[in-house]
Amino acid sequence: MSQGVCGEEEKRRCRIEVGDNLDAVCAKCPKNSSVEIGEYTAKLLRIRSLRLAGYPLGPNDLTHEEWIDLGKIEEWLTRGP
C-alpha cells in the first residue's frame, strides 16, 4: 500500500480501478518511489492538500520558513523541478 503519499480519496479511486490487485499496483506506482519523504515534507504536502480543499489557513498558522517551503513545493508540483 502507498507509503502515506496518497490520501484516502485517491486510495479509494485506485481500489475501484484495480480491485484485488491494489497492493501489486501500489507497489509499482511512481508515487511510491524508493525515495522516502521526510516527516516535514509529508506535513507540508498535507497542508497543501488542505489548502487546495479550501481549508482556511491564516498567515500565522505556519512559520515563515514553512510558508517559504510550501511555496517551493507548490512551484515544484505545478512547474516541475
Reported as a pLDDT band with limits 50, 70 and 90, residue 13 is confident
Over residues 23-66, the pLDDT tens digits come to 788 777 777 665 678 899 999 999 999 999 999 999 999 999 99
For residues 14 and 22, is the Cβ–Cβ distance under 8 A? yes
pLDDT score of 14 more than 60: yes
CA–CA distance, 71 with 65 (Å, rounded to integer): 10
pTM: 0.56
- Cα angle 12, 15, 17 (rounded to 5 degrees) comes to 110
